[in-house]
Amino acid sequence: MVYHPRENWSPARRKRVYTRRDFLQRAALLGIAVPALPSLLAACAERDAEEGVELAIGTPANPVQQPLFEDNPAIESGLSDEEGPLQLYNWADYINQDVVIAAQDALGVEIEITTFFNEEEAIQKISSGEVQFDVWFPTSQVVPKSVSGRLLQPLNLDYIPNLEQYVWPSLANPYYDQGSRYTVPYVLYSTGIAWRVDQVDSADIEGHANAWDVFWNDKYAGIAGLYDSYTDAIAMALFRNGLGDPSQASEAEVAAAADSLIELTELMNVRYTIDGAYVQIPEGRMGLHQAWSGDIINSQYYFPEDGDPSVMRYAWPARIEGTSVNAAISSDTMAIPVGAQRPVLAHKFLNFMLDEESALLNFEWVGYQPPQKGIDTDLLIQDEWVPEYLAAAVVREEDFELDTAWVQGQLDIATETLWSDQWNRVKAGG
């Protein structure tokens, strides 16, 4: 259930009182009266307040501040800690257990983690108001809708000095949330291509102005995969077809990109997976897959005992010399949901995670790199945090500035719907 900003929604109003007549009328429709019904029925109230929601969607060239709402204030400075346990809401395997233990010691509370399978599910659960988490890990692509949909509470940066101290300036004040009103950055990733050198000729990727074209190279039919994620797959096809900024693609261009993907079903026998890059390539089930850089740094640990991780390669087409195509780069965030029961602890947890030591410890296991000033990306390779042959998977601050980089943010609703429609066409098998 989603609460509309115009409704002037507040936690107190969520328990909206229905008149007996309202209730009976609605209960009669169902023929029964169930205790949980009033909350389900609250959705009815929104029907009339539908049109014209402006989301604050920024781009690096056009940074935005997320709106603040009077009825959704940040917590005061200098409050004392609440009782634990602190509730985290995260993707599976997206935080190092050792960091969680260190955070427990530092904050003096238990920390419990609940995981979600995909972001749609997370948004659904948080907006239902049925569960109250203290910290959530949204991607930067859902920050605008999460703010306007009143899922997040503003941050009081007094509690988070580490943001200024340790985090890359560009992300301590990011384009999607100027002034870090609602979020602090978590980890970074580029979206590129991963392959095994024993199955794929590296020259077909690194020696090409259009590296994405390798997914249409039928030499590799049967061993190629793409992410089962419509934003990633369609953006990739748009890049391959020569578009620089997928979010600005016209309807015809998106349809053409979908056609290009449909072609892959027969031409390449392409498969859409989520674990293709970091599990199936190491296991030899895939030779070539679209890949998030963090997955690839992680993939070394997924090789079977007799496997050789050094066959793994990664390239981010935006940084390939002489490239004519763009590629995506983005970051995830940490935020505090509106219904958090322990906001003070949550702020302190965010601060803890932004500390250089915890950030590095987290990277060690998660494989996704934190945007830390103190972490010299060249040192990551020198000190063997990342093996030499996967050096391309390291993300640098200047990567976000490249002309060939598309900093992936939220798509506006119309574009999202257009891409969804086309994606369903792709997944239906053409």
Helix axes 230-240, 413-427, angle to 10 degrees: 90
Are 270 and 226 in contact by the 8 Å Cβ rule? The answer is yes
Q: Which is nearer to another protein, 233 or 386 (CB)?
A: 233
* CB neighbours of residue 71 within 10 Å: 12
Q: Which residues, including other chains, have CB under 8 Å from residue 61's CB and lie 6 or more apart?
A: none
In 268-304, which residue ranges form alpha helices assigned H by DSSP? 293-299
- Shortest spacing between CB 110 and another protein, in angstroms: 30
What is the token pair recorded at 159? 């509690």
d(CA 349, CA 99): 11
| Residues within the interface to another protein (CB under 8 A) | 1-2, 4, 26, 29-32, 34, 40-41, 43-44, 46-47, 50-51, 53, 55, 117-118, 120-121, 123-124, 127, 145, 148-149, 222-223, 225, 228-230, 262, 265-266, 269-273, 276, 283-285, 413, 416-417, 419-421, 423-430
What is the token pair recorded at 347? 């702020």
Q: Which is nearer to another protein, 149 or 367 (CB)?
A: 149
- Shortest spacing between CB 373 and another protein, in angstroms: 34
- Shortest spacing between CB 261 and another protein, in angstroms: 9
Q: Which is nearer to another protein, 306 or 321 (CB)?
A: 306
Q: Which is nearer to another protein, 88 or 258 (CB)?
A: 258
For the chain, the first-to-last Cα distance in angstroms comes to 33
d(CA 245, CA 412): 13
- Shortest spacing between CB 221 and another protein, in angstroms: 9
- Shortest spacing between CB 239 and another protein, in angstroms: 20
Are 163 and 70 in contact by the 8 Å Cβ rule? The answer is no
- Shortest spacing between CB 404 and another protein, in angstroms: 28
Q: Which is nearer to another protein, 12 or 428 (CB)?
A: 428
What is the token pair recorded at 43? 């959705």
Q: Which is nearer to another protein, 214 or 223 (CB)?
A: 223
